[in-house]
Structure 1
């Protein structure tokens, strides 16, 4: 058995997925170190060399029944050994075994019992071993907030750890922690610390740990889209895995390298590497890697438009998936085969296959994964000329991405609050320790002087000092809290990347528009209603894929500045979603509204966004309406309903080529007649000549 297990992720059509390792004992959490736990020196931790070797050997065992028996024997032996560090290592290994059997609660209870043991044997190595495993198990269980608090303690004890294996293990936990939170610089820093600790070890587990660490660094470079560096690190890890005959690890590394070649559009190389991964995985019995590699080979053939070879590869993979009972992969392979049918001209049957298996995969996929699948489905609809279905798929994809965007935002805020509370707790503990130290010095002074009157005076003096210190600290804490509250209030109304208003801020602004005042304003201003302009950056995912997420962030910030430069002080510029912006024009002249929108399209497209010496061409598609909409009272069509009409207009622009704007300027028939189509099918209302609309085209972009 191994402490580290490798899982193989999903992979569909043009999405070649890297095999992320599930580090059961190296889950990534956000830690902030606040210094050492104590200023007192710790003695060297106690270990039992013979039992440590037996644990290492147990972790390499493949026979599960024999491994269980050996672990039971180790647990019996460690009870009588005077070795606290080895004791907690043996029992945390037992906790992992329990968790692998599906009893995560039971595993966490083992860790809780070890917490009491660590209180009695307060060596930093003991605490690191216990806390690192607790962080991993809590995260595995989904208890992120609790795990963050424990990770705060882990980072403190890690600074004083002595044993090289323990320091390696604790730093690997923190490496995985920061990688999952996209804090790559800190992740690499801890990876180097783990590497330094590992350089001082030389036993049968050293090679496995070094390969696993290099694999983790490979994933960090891959996340950063530094594919050449990722390939270089994975090549070193692969050589060592093959030299030590670690076939499973080597197959996993080859699968990762195949993914990297695909991301670099080197599909022939990707196919060759995946073939090598299949050979090793079959020898190691890693059927999951075999299936993903074969699926990735099929994906590479599709990229190369070699559909017959892709069909053969995916069909053989499907037979294997059925044989091993992997229903999810089987559904994914059938979806890909349906995709090939469409591309080869069998549109009706292929679309039916794709739609059926997309529905089955939806039940298993996360919102983000299914949104990616919808993008491929929309591409098929476009190829088949099914533009209405394409628009519906894009709308659903946008809804799911907004849902993911909001969930990630809420998670980020929650984690920030937990980190703040954890830091506050650490500061309180430090304050209590300082107070205890003062009290001990007071008692020592009293014992030395042996005079009740002097003792009383000293106690009073130190008591006053402590009260003054506590009072001042409380005042400073209150001031800091006020500052933090002000900052939270500001950030709750602003998008953290672009500093534009967010949805919450817009909703508060729109609620202030009193209906009676709006009616008076319509009478006074006549043809000067408000206007809503909804914009979506074209092919934003392609920008992220081709230039990197940092470049995508720069595009969002640059376009935000351009839009703010065009807006008046009374207008509202809002980041509406991932790559969507909303502009609310106050008291605008409907006659000049098209020219305003045209200037916006020009401002976005005329100049590329420059990032790290590269010019990124950018265009946008927009939908716009007046508010009140087409003279209809807002009691019948409020701003949110009007915005939905603008959204449908935007997607009509997307379907008809992008880099343009559709504006719904008025109605040609009574509102009651066109209302059902305005709620469900704006395109049909346009086709039946029921609305007045205008189409604006952006400048051509090379």
Structure 2
């Protein structure tokens, strides 16, 4: 069980909008009051900001007006009223254009970035980053430079762009480095926590510990900063648990709980109780974990903290499963997964619940249900993967379009400069004929420089086009081909086959592979280790294939190999080699050996002599997917190949589209089994 909530904290995250301004208008003082209430009295803060819009007048300064709209939009965003939040962003962007203010524009673009994230639209958020960075460079107000850079850092960290995230955090730090604002200390502590969180993700645990300990010392020394302590200790506990150092994590969470109770911070109390319970659960101390989860659930229910209520109830169900009460525990866990779906929880959040429910079914030896949940887990993972890739391509295209427009503007400027130079040349010819030769030389030089600029611009344009084409067909993590590349290949393959109008004399092979227990690798070694495993498995598979074959990252932890012109025997032998090369040698990550195996499903195309108009490549891949999950159900580290049909395809079509077990049992579908290398 690994639902250990890694929260930087409700209070800390709120400091992303802790911004102040000079009191050019009486309304600014009330906006400052709103900020003071945000962390400790959110309900009162929301009521206050909603009451302030009526106080806007025609004389309200533009910066104050935009600041109020930013806070109103943030309040609606927190309440998931995204339409109203977007309304206030649009108002601020219009105002920025009217008064030509880069400060207002930077604040509005930062709000837009936060809104895209809240709506789970990372592709649109990515496309906005470069525009926000450019606008931020021209902003003057300290509060806005801090807010924008800090928000950028948080987003870039979530996107695994760690170097850029660190630069953004330091940019935020420099914005307030010499500030006399009363909240400067709070801002600096927040940034220490953010950079510490970044170091935790990168497994730089000692550096994270140093930053957090320094921040905790500062927060304990000043009473006005005590409210930061629950979340700082919470983050310190996450840092220790990631190593794992359970005793130190226990102590940090206990300290955070003490402060959260003292400060009457129910959200932090519930989260810390859950994390303490999770520590007990991981150590097999189920009796000690139960009261912690029960208290966390009760408190979350009182505060209408739905996500934590669901998490605690789910954890309690999992403990029942681990204690042998399978029926009741699995029913409870399944009910929470259903509740998560009712709440329309994002796929990224639902994925964890589905994966852990699958683990619980495995513990209860309910293998059919485990396979069913694993299929859903894989479908969710693929959907997230595909959505992210599509959004990345969209973001690349938008970014490329922006660059192209910038180059067009630059080209027009160059043309204007050239025309000005020609006019100057004519005037000089009329006035001083003696300088004619010099002017010609100058014009020639200018034209040459212009030619070089145009040539360089064209080269950059070609490079950008090449990069865009490459990124649209390749997985950014492993460098392998992606789904889109297969679609293009199969389309060309079909077109070529139709032009030939001849039956193919050879077959191609499809092997679908899924890394076994990949979730456990992420949970026990961290996502960075999971990335290393994916890269290394991709590298090993790539080394096995010939030129002309394809190795694709099909989604999440799934790989697809397309082998050209080979028969069933060669395909079976190749699958055996693939399982051996994956499972024979562990993957090394930070001096830790991670044993990796995979399950596979494979078949030829055309399959069993069936015409591809009846059983095309997409249907063939679904058959391979079902064969793969037979391997999951029957022990993993193995592959099942579909060899032949002993009845007409049309007669078996309905069975093959839903379940392979019946045609196999009836002898209508012939299969072959390939075992991976023995494991300790």
> Are the equivalent residues in 1 in contact too, given 2:474–2:480 (CA < 8 A)?
yes
Partners of 2:261 and 2:138 lie apart in 1 by: 44
Select which of 176, 182, 185 maps to 2:154: 176
Helix, strand or coil: the match of 1:520?
coil
Residue 520 of structure 1 is matched in structure 2 by: 503
Residue 95 of structure 1 is matched in structure 2 by: 69
Residue 484 of structure 1 is matched in structure 2 by: 464
Helix, strand or coil: the match of 1:535?
strand
> Are the equivalent residues in 2 in contact too, given 1:115–1:130 (CA < 8 A)?
yes
Mapping for residues 187-336 of structure 1, pairs under 5 Å: 187-245=165-223, 246-336=225-315
Distance 1:433 1:111, change over 3 A: farther
Mapping for residues 283-432 of structure 1, pairs under 5 Å: 283-364=262-343, 365-428=345-408
Partners of 1:445 and 1:591 lie apart in 2 by: 78
> Are the equivalent residues in 2 in contact too, given 1:98–1:106 (CA < 8 A)?
no
Partners of 1:683 and 1:356 lie apart in 2 by: 29
The offset of 1:266, in angstroms, is 3.2
Partners of 1:351 and 1:357 lie apart in 2 by: 10
Unpaired runs of 5+ residues, structure 2, are 77-83
The offset of 1:299, in angstroms, is 1.9
Partners of 2:9 and 2:414 lie apart in 1 by: 43
Q: Does 1:625 align with 2:603?
A: yes
Select which of 2, 5, 11 maps to 1:17: 5
The offset of 1:314, in angstroms, is 1.9
Distance 1:553 1:473, change over 3 A: same
> Are the equivalent residues in 2 in contact too, given 1:608–1:617 (CA < 8 A)?
yes
The Cα offsets for residues 334-366 of structure 1, whole Å up to 9 and x where unpaired, read as 222222222222222222222122111123321
Residue 186 of structure 1 is matched in structure 2 by: 164
Distance 1:580 1:517, change over 3 A: farther
The Cα offsets for residues 567-624 of structure 1, whole Å up to 9 and x where unpaired, read as 2334333332222222233332323443332222222223334455554433222112
Residue 134 of structure 1 is matched in structure 2 by: 108
Partners of 2:507 and 2:429 lie apart in 1 by: 85
Distance 1:582 1:448, change over 3 A: closer
The Cα offsets for residues 604-657 of structure 1, whole Å up to 9 and x where unpaired, read as 223334455554433222112233323444343333222222211211212222
Partners of 2:670 and 2:574 lie apart in 1 by: 18
Residue 586 of structure 2 is matched in structure 1 by: 608
Partners of 2:598 and 2:47 lie apart in 1 by: 63
Partners of 1:254 and 1:556 lie apart in 2 by: 33
CA RMSD in angstroms comes to 4.3
Helix, strand or coil: the match of 2:504?
helix
Residue 108 of structure 1 is matched in structure 2 by: 89
Partners of 1:148 and 1:575 lie apart in 2 by: 22
> Are the equivalent residues in 1 in contact too, given 2:603–2:620 (CA < 8 A)?
yes
> Are the equivalent residues in 2 in contact too, given 1:164–1:200 (CA < 8 A)?
no
Partners of 2:620 and 2:190 lie apart in 1 by: 54
Mapping for residues 595-674 of structure 1, pairs under 5 Å: 595-611=573-589, 614-667=592-645, 671=649, 674=652
The offset of 1:426, in angstroms, is 4.3
Q: Does 1:532 align with 2:510?
A: yes
Distance 1:569 1:306, change over 3 A: same
> Are the equivalent residues in 2 in contact too, given 1:335–1:353 (CA < 8 A)?
yes
Partners of 2:34 and 2:442 lie apart in 1 by: 56
Partners of 1:116 and 1:674 lie apart in 2 by: 65
What TM-score does the superposition give when structure 1 sets the normalisation length?
0.80
Select which of 23, 26, 35 maps to 1:59: 35
Helix, strand or coil: the match of 1:371?
helix
Partners of 2:499 and 2:432 lie apart in 1 by: 79
Between Structure 1 and Structure 2, how many residues are aligned?
653
Helix, strand or coil: the match of 2:657?
helix
The offset of 1:408, in angstroms, is 0.7
Partners of 1:214 and 1:145 lie apart in 2 by: 28
Helix, strand or coil: the match of 1:60?
helix
Partners of 2:386 and 2:322 lie apart in 1 by: 35
Partners of 1:447 and 1:575 lie apart in 2 by: 64
Partners of 1:78 and 1:548 lie apart in 2 by: 54
> Are the equivalent residues in 1 in contact too, given 2:123–2:392 (CA < 8 A)?
no
Q: Does 1:565 align with 2:543?
A: yes
Distance 1:679 1:66, change over 3 A: closer
Distance 1:623 1:146, change over 3 A: closer
Query: In terms of mean alpha carbon deviation, does 196-205 or 208-217 score higher?
Result: 196-205
Mapping for residues 14-53 of structure 1, pairs under 5 Å: 14-20=2-8, 26=16
Residue 81 of structure 2 is matched in structure 1 by: none
Distance 1:228 1:678, change over 3 A: farther
Residue 37 of structure 1 is matched in structure 2 by: none
Partners of 1:65 and 1:396 lie apart in 2 by: 39
The offset of 1:475, in angstroms, is 6.4
The offset of 1:117, in angstroms, is 6.3
Helix, strand or coil: the match of 1:212?
helix
Unpaired runs of 5+ residues, structure 1, are 1-12, 28-45, 80-86, 120-125, 523-527
What TM-score does the superposition give when structure 2 sets the normalisation length?
0.82
The Cα offsets for residues 227-259 of structure 1, whole Å up to 9 and x where unpaired, read as 333232222222222322334322122222233
Residue 34 of structure 1 is matched in structure 2 by: none
Partners of 1:251 and 1:376 lie apart in 2 by: 28
Mapping for residues 430-579 of structure 1, pairs under 5 Å: 477-478=457-458, 480-511=460-491, 512-513=493-494, 514=497, 520-522=503-505, 529-579=507-557
Partners of 1:69 and 1:574 lie apart in 2 by: 51
Residue 36 of structure 1 is matched in structure 2 by: none
The offset of 1:546, in angstroms, is 4.6
Query: In terms of mean alpha carbon deviation, does 550-559 or 458-467 score higher?
Result: 458-467
Partners of 1:517 and 1:159 lie apart in 2 by: 59
Partners of 1:283 and 1:625 lie apart in 2 by: 63
Distance 1:661 1:420, change over 3 A: same
The offset of 1:327, in angstroms, is 3.9
Residue 680 of structure 1 is matched in structure 2 by: 658
Distance 1:55 1:403, change over 3 A: closer
The Cα offsets for residues 442-475 of structure 1, whole Å up to 9 and x where unpaired, read as 9999999998999xxx999999999998787666
The offset of 1:375, in angstroms, is 1.0
Query: In terms of mean alpha carbon deviation, does 209-218 or 148-157 score higher?
Result: 148-157
> Are the equivalent residues in 1 in contact too, given 2:70–2:108 (CA < 8 A)?
no
The offset of 1:162, in angstroms, is 6.4
Partners of 2:297 and 2:141 lie apart in 1 by: 48
